[in-house]
Each structure stands twice: as structure tokens, then as C-alpha cells.
Structure 1
Amino acid sequence: MNVLLDNLDIFVTGFRNTLIMFFASGLIALVLGTIVGSFRVSPVAPMRALGTIYVNLVRNTPLTLIFFFFVFGYPKLGLPRADYIVLAIIALSLYTATYVAEALRSGINTVPLGQAEAARAIGLTFGQSMTLVVLPQAFRAIIPPLMNVFIALLKNTTIAAGFSVLDAGAIRAYLSERGEPQLVVLLWVAVIFIALAALLSWAQRALEKKWRLAR
């Protein structure tokens, strides 16, 4: 306990930045992934192609390389300067959105085709049928895989530690300079991560129970 209590400033700062990246990236990825997932099932061929290219290109690129691009390539594009934590959020968002899109596409495929046909029969456009009929049912079906995506996102935030972001992944390096036992530090980081993942799992079960009763 002394390792945790004596270095509470580093632990609080590290996990605060981790949670900032997690929530910001998760929200952006959810919105972007919903758009890309809708593109993937669109009846318009160019939109399907755009969604497919984005998913296949970004998802098959190692996340570390995406971080390298934003940390070292972004400044050379002449774009406005941004903090490393902002660049980390962008990298995590673009990468995670591909998994959200694929999870959503699988959820859309579970919705009976007759639902979309009935929506079009009463005059709804593709966008209206997606937002009012298909997506609400699809999101109910993908809660478990979607929560797994967010748990993976939480763990992926530690990559930012290698790019000058003081997050949970950087706590060990900072405390090693204070002479703290690294194994104990890593165990505390792991325990807190397990607690956060357990909280996400609880949220998953609560949402599943709520929406199951709603049906």
C-alpha cells in the first residue's frame, strides 16, 4: 500500500489521462464507427467501397504505426500543433472505429430484412430506416462485442505511454526514477485496470438486462 499511497499523484494523473483518452476516443469511435458501419451496408456502391477501404486499411495497420504517424508525421503536414494526448485520442479513435463498424455491421445483419423493407414501404429513406428502425435493434444485439471493443480500447491507451503521454502505461517508468519496486508498481496498475474492466463488464450486463426486459 505504501507504493500506492506515497505516489498517489502519479497514479491519479496517469489514470486520469487514461480515462480522458478512453472516454474521448470511445465517443468519437462510436460515432465514426456508426457512420462507417452504415456505409458498409449502404445500397450505394461508392459508400460501401469507402467503408470497406477504411476498415480494411486502418484495421490491418498496427496501432503503433498509427501512433507513429500522428506523433512524427502529423507535424510535417503543416497542420495546427496539438498536444500528444490529443493526437493519441485521434489515433485511438480512428483505429477503434473500425472495430465498432464491424461489430455494428454484424448487428445490422441480425435485423430481419423485412424490417428495412417495411420501412422503405412506408416511405422512409435509407438514412431514416437506419436511424429509426435498424440501428436501434442492431445496437441491442451487439452490446457484448461492442463492450469487448471498449475494453480493448482501455488497454490500448497504454500505447500512448511510448509517445510522451503520462498515462497508466507510463507510471512504471516514472516511479522507477523514484526507486520504487517496479513489480509492485506493475501489480497496482494491473489491479486498477482489472477493476476498470470489471466495471465495464458490469455495465454490459446492466444494459443487456435492461434491453432484454424492454423487448
Structure 2
Amino acid sequence: MPPRYRGVPTQPEPTMSESPGATVTLPEAPTSDEPPKPLTAQRVVPLRRPGRWIATAVVLVLVAQFVHGLVTNPFYQWARWSYWFLRPTILDGLLITLEVTAFSAVLGLVGGIVLALARLSRSPVLRAVSWTYVWALRSIPLIVVLIFLYNFSALYKTLSLGIPFGPAFFTFDESKLATDMVVAVVGLSLNEAAYAAEVVRGGILSVDQGQHEAAAALGLPKGYQFRRIVFPQALRSIIPNYVNQLIGLIKGTSLVFYVSLLDLFGSAQTMGSTYPGDIVPLLLVVTVWYLILTSIVSVIQFYVERHYARGATRSLPSTPLQKLRTGLSDLRTRIRREAAV
């Protein structure tokens, strides 16, 4: 018989007949004559987060102060800024910046692909040469590379093509061949190729090994495997990283001023020497143009990434316009819900 505790009501045990097939009789649940209480809708109160609101208020105050000072401070001379912003001198420098960036980006990416493939090659000589190039160019500052190439004619006055260690078939005058534009493009391309090589190598290594094995099992040539299977998948990892390099390249073109090429920054610097009182407006002109260029590149990056995300994600990332529409729709829904309550 089970023990009984004081103050704890016990239920009578169910009785069972000893005969086979007997049924068990369970005690009936107590019933109440009270009617069930109606369910009432209760409003869910969100968790209070005072720290977030305080931080938001502080940031908004700081941003408002910054904008107010930027607009009202006479030191910035916004009238002179509007005068210089579309001047032909500035636009000519902007055109040179775009040309140098375009040539250097293409040549740097091509060189980076070649260096990455050499780094992944089975040849120890190619791996060693590629690693040494990347190590050296990433270690030397870009301004040193540009100045060295600008004075390259002091070391080699002529360049020739012919049999190695033998007679030369063609000879070029280096001082006439290496113009300011050529020096700037070559210097930036050499520097960009070293960084692009690591970006491309990392993208290729990010492709699953099973893709390589499946392509090899189909008997596809190595070149076809790389062009049609490996590299398109590697682009999903290469594009975001290389666009960062491209933005750095746009800003890095400001150094070609030191090799006598008047790009956007060089044109503003020259005008600042002629008009010392307009140095700050000219620097603001350069700043705004660089912001415009990098913003355009960032927008292009988003849509290129969205294109190559097909097949890798269940749904494509929303565009800024789609995000704006979704945000406005959610805001209207929330306002209607609050008004209904």
C-alpha cells in the first residue's frame, strides 16, 4: 500500500479484476459548474531598450552638428567650390584619372590571373617567381615604384628585342617610349597585379574540390575546366575583393601627380598653387569627385554580385529600390496596426 502524506489528498487507486481481459476503472475528473472565462486579446509590449535610443540620439546630434558646420562655416567657400567643380581644367584631370584607372584595372587583373595560375602551377620555378613578385610588389610603396619607373631611363637608355644574350633585332629609345601616361599605367598595373593575384588565387581556392573532380571525371581539358567551371564560380568570391582593390586604385591614381601627370588631384594641386586662397575649395572638389567615382563603382559591384549570385542562393538580394518599397510597406502596415489598436 503506498504511503500517505499529511495534507496531500490521495486519489483512489484504480481497481482491476484478476481475471483475464478485465477493464480498468479510472476515477472521474472533478467538474465545475462555473462557465469558462472568455479569452481576451492582450497587447504584446516590446522590450525597452534605452541604451539604443540614447546612442541613436547622440549620433544624430553629432551628425547634425557636422552638417551644420559644413554648411555654415565660411572657411569652406562653397561659392568657389561651385566655380571650380566643372571647370575644364578639373574635367581634363578627371578624364586622365579615368583613363589611368581603366587601363591599370584591366592590365592589373590580367596580370593577377597569370600570377595566380603560376602560383597554383605544379612547376616550382613558376611558383617561386610568382611568389617573389607578389612579395616584392606588395612590400614596396607605390610612390617608390612610380618614381623608380619615372627615372628608369637613367638605368636603361635603350630597350631592345632579339635573341637572349645575342644580337638585338629592334631597339627603342626608352625616354621617348616611356611617356608620363605610360609610366603611370605601368607602375599602377604592376602594383595592382600583385594584389589581384592573391584575390584571384583566393577565389579559385574557394571553389569546392568536388567541382574540379567532376570536371576531370568528364574528361574536360584543363583550359575548358578553368574557363567554364572553375573561374565563373570563383568570381563570386573574386568580385567583392577586387572591387575593393579597384576603389583603392581610383584613389591611388592621385600619386601619378609625382610623375608629372596632371590627373584630377594634380590639376587641383596646380590650381591651388596658382590660387592659394582656393586650396580648400579645390580639395573639396577633388573629394566630391572621388566620392562620386567610388559610389558608381560600388553600385556596379552590387549588380555584378547579384548577377553571379544566381544558383548560389535561394533568392537574389533585394535591390535598393526594392528595399525602399519593402520598408515603406512595412511602415504603412505598422501605422495601420497601431491606429487599429
Superposition TM-score, scaled by structure 2 size: 0.60
Structure 2 counterpart of 1:164, from 256, 260, 278: 260
- 1:94 paired with 2:94, answer no
Q: Does structure 1 conserve the Cα–Cα contact (< 8 Å) formed by 2:235 and 2:308?
A: no
One-letter amino acid of the counterpart of residue 91, structure 2? V
**Cα gap change, 1:52/1:126 in structure 2, threshold over 3 Å: closer, same or farther?**
farther
Unaligned 5+ segments in structure 1 are: none
- 1:17 paired with 2:96, answer yes
* Shift in Å, 1:125: 3.9
Q: In the alignment, which residue of structure 2 is the partner of 1:37? A: 116
One-letter amino acid of the counterpart of residue 47, structure 1? L
Separation in 2 of the partners of 1:136 and 1:213? 11
- 1:49 paired with 2:145, answer no
C-alpha RMSD of the superposition: 1.8
The answer to which of 76-85 and 28-37 deviates more is 76-85
- 1:153 paired with 2:249, answer yes
Larger Rg: 2
One-letter amino acid of the counterpart of residue 142, structure 1? I
Q: In the alignment, which residue of structure 1 is the partner of 2:288? A: 191
Q: Does structure 2 conserve the Cα–Cα contact (< 8 Å) formed by 1:4 and 1:11?
A: no
- 1:140 paired with 2:236, answer yes
Alignment of 1:193-208 (within 5 A): 193-208=290-305
* Shift in Å, 1:66: 0.7
* Shift in Å, 1:37: 1.1
Q: Does structure 1 conserve the Cα–Cα contact (< 8 Å) formed by 2:101 and 2:253?
A: yes
- 1:123 paired with 2:219, answer yes
Aligned residues: 215
Structure 2 counterpart of 1:71, from 123, 136, 150: 150
* Shift in Å, 1:5: 3.5
Residue by residue over 1:23-75, the C-alpha shift from the partner in whole angstroms, topping out at 9 and shown as x without a partner, is: 01001111111111111112332222221111111111111111012100245
Unaligned 5+ segments in structure 2 are: 1-78, 160-173, 313-341
Which structure's relative contact order is higher, taking Cα pairs within 8 Å and 6+ residues apart? 1
* Shift in Å, 1:181: 1.0
Separation in 1 of the partners of 2:123 and 2:219? 18
* Shift in Å, 1:144: 1.1
SS at match of 2:220: coil
Structure 1 counterpart of 2:278, from 150, 163, 181: 181
One-letter amino acid of the counterpart of residue 54, structure 1? Y
Superposition TM-score, scaled by structure 1 size: 0.92
Q: Does structure 2 conserve the Cα–Cα contact (< 8 Å) formed by 1:158 and 1:168?
A: yes
* Shift in Å, 1:186: 0.1
**Cα gap change, 1:50/1:129 in structure 2, threshold over 3 Å: closer, same or farther?**
farther
Structure 1 counterpart of 2:207, from 106, 111, 135: 111
**Cα gap change, 1:109/1:159 in structure 2, threshold over 3 Å: closer, same or farther?**
same
Q: Does structure 1 conserve the Cα–Cα contact (< 8 Å) formed by 2:90 and 2:268?
A: no
* Shift in Å, 1:113: 1.1
Residue by residue over 1:58-107, the C-alpha shift from the partner in whole angstroms, topping out at 9 and shown as x without a partner, is: 11111111101210024531133221111100000010011111111111
Bigger helix share? 1
Q: Does structure 1 conserve the Cα–Cα contact (< 8 Å) formed by 2:147 and 2:258?
A: no
Q: Does structure 1 conserve the Cα–Cα contact (< 8 Å) formed by 2:80 and 2:278?
A: no
* Shift in Å, 1:169: 1.8
